[in-house]
Amino acid sequence: MVFQNVLWSKFLLCIFTQIISCSIDDLSLRAKKLMESTPLIDGHNDLALQLRRIYKNRISEINLRTINSTRTNLQKLKTGHVGAQFWSAYVLCSAQDKDAVRLALEQIDVIKRMCKEYEELEFVTSSQGIENTKKIACLIGLEGGHIIDSSLGTLRMFYELGARYMTLTHTCNTPWAETAGGGPHNFYQGRKSLSEFGTEVVKEMNRLGMIIDLSHTSSNTSREVLAISKAPVIFSHSAVFALCGIKRNVPDDILLDIKKNGGLVMVNFHTEFISCSKYANISTLADHFDYIKKVAGPESIGIGADYDGVTGFPEGLEDVSKYPQLIQELLIRGWQDEEIKGVLRKNFLRVFKKVEKVRDDLVTLRPSEVEIPEGELNYSCRLDLRKFQQQSKKASGVQERSMPAFTLITYVMSCIYFRNYIIS
């Protein structure tokens, strides 16, 4: 009898675990199916930074399909069902007011070369480009407003090179926007929130159709931008302040502003941002998704994992092949297929299309010729053009003096004409 009971309970246990593992398998399959039909658009990956750091951007010496010194390679992107990736053209804050522009150009160069040399990748610059390609779409995000060297002309040229978002600050203030900090930098300490020139940068980005990224900016900068931007904005790689209270994360009032703005928080996977410690697991990360969904709705969520930009990732999400694990966890938590498709892809496409529409609506606006006020810039490493500009004022003075000569010629010509007139 006892023997039979043991058998019986073993049998029940067997069936029970069978059901559990069966449903897990089911959800794992469902996660993969969802990602196959709706490949992920990830908002932030720092592979290009690693290419510079480890290989001095010499990609001819490595195989990006199988490279394993980074968390990203092409095989893993495929396994992870990544359909589009914003590659970060990131420049260290220490290059501010020095060679930040050159360094950014070199990062754009390496991203473009990578996307051209590998047939798995295709460089695109529009929402349509993402939707049309059968390959992994490559897009560029500029990380750090210091990259434009306080120049709207420079901003426009980066747009022409294909940059489709700019993170207004990295871990340093620029002359025109305040950072959430995190770095040791001492630049422009007096800067609070967004300056008047900063609002001009925001307007110009709206006009160009460049997405504004508020990751790394101070809360006050974010609030200011949300109050004036005509287009939706994103946090390309940030998590929730209420769950891990660091300045790099998004507080509740800004989550609500994002919902109103129609924008997106693309969730960062970094352990120190999601658990405020060196350890986290998939469940810790999924809490951030649940939280934003509760406060701002599932339409306000995306993914910007920050692979190769930081070191610590949750157990089970070590590299770019692991995204389906997260999707499975969201399914376990009862997320609907449509909500997950939004998180993976559709929410971002909505934002990008709206940004493009705002650009099209503003087509009659001319490029802004506003310059940053002189006193707000640190001229120490810039050619001081003020003398040159004074010289050209003098040069126009010379032209003024040449006016009498012109007048004289006109006078002689009209005399000749008049004399001819008299004669005929």
Ligand X SMILES: *[C@@H]1O[C@H](CO)[C@@H](O)[C@H](O)[C@H]1NC(C)=O
Binding-site ranges for ligand X (CB under 6 A): 68, 97, 192, 220, 275, 281, 283-284, 378, 380
Q: Give the nearest distance from C-beta 374 to ligand X in angstroms.
A: 12
* Residue 292 token pair: 């934003």
Cα dist from 364 to 153, 358, 368, whole Å = 18, 12, 12
CB of 187 to ligand X, least distance (A): 7
Residue 21 or 68 with smaller CB distance to ligand X:
68
Q: Is 57 exposed, middle or buried (0-12, 13-18, 19+ CB in 10 A)?
A: middle
For residue 29, the minimal CB distance to ligand X (Å) is 20
Catalytic entry in 122, 306, 308, 339: 306
Q: Smallest distance from the beta carbon of 250 to ligand X, in angstroms?
A: 15
To ligand X, the closest distance from the beta carbon of 314 in angstroms equals 8
Concatenated DSSP letters of 319-338: STT-HHHHHHHHHHTT--HH
Nearer to ligand X among residue 188 and residue 352 (C-beta): 188
Nearest approach, Cβ of 125 to ligand X (angstroms)?
33
Is 146 part of the annotated catalytic residue set?
A: no
Helix extents (H) in 80-151: 100-117, 127-132
323 vs 348, which CB is nearer to ligand X?
A: 323
Catalytic residue selected from 97, 143, 200, 308: 143
Q: Is 216 noted as a catalytic residue in this protein?
A: yes
**Least distance from C-beta 247 to ligand X, angstroms?**
9
Which residue out of 81, 170, 185, 270 is catalytically annotated? 170
- Scanning 209-251, the segments in alpha helix (DSSP H) are 219-228
Tokens standing for residue 359? 């650009």
Taking the C-alpha atoms of residue 179 and residue 186, their distance in angstroms, rounded to an integer, is 11
Q: Check 146, 185, 216, 270 and give the catalytic one.
A: 216
All residues at 6 or more sequence positions from 91 whose CB lies less than 8 Å from its CB, including other chains: 100, 103, 104, 107, 143, 144, 146, 147, 170
Q: Which residues contact 84 (CB under 8 A, 6 or more apart)?
A: 39, 40, 41, 42, 124, 130, 136, 137, 138, 139, 345
CB 159 within 8 A of CB 210: yes
- The Cα–Cα gap between 302 and 344 comes to 6
Let me know if 26 is a catalytic residue.
no
Does residue 46 have an active-site annotation? Answer: yes
**Residue nearer to ligand X on the CB measure, 118 or 161:** 118
Q: In whole angstroms, what is the distance from residue 152 CA to residue 335 CA?
A: 43
Query: Nearer to ligand X by C-beta: 238 or 284?
Result: 284
Partners of 281 in beta bridges? 315
The overall longest dimension of the chain from CA atoms, in Å, is 141
Please indicate whether residue 81 is annotated as part of the active site.
Answer: no
Which of the 8 DSSP states describes residue 377? S
Minimum CB distance to ligand X smaller for 70 or for 347:
70
By the 8 A CB rule, do 248 and 240 touch? no
Q: Which is nearer to ligand X, 126 or 281 (CB)?
A: 281
288 is catalytic: no
Q: In this structure, are residues 396 and 403 in contact, taking their beta carbons and an 8 Å threshold? A: no
Residue 237 is a catalytic residue: yes
What positions carry a catalytic annotation?
44, 46, 143, 170, 216, 237, 306
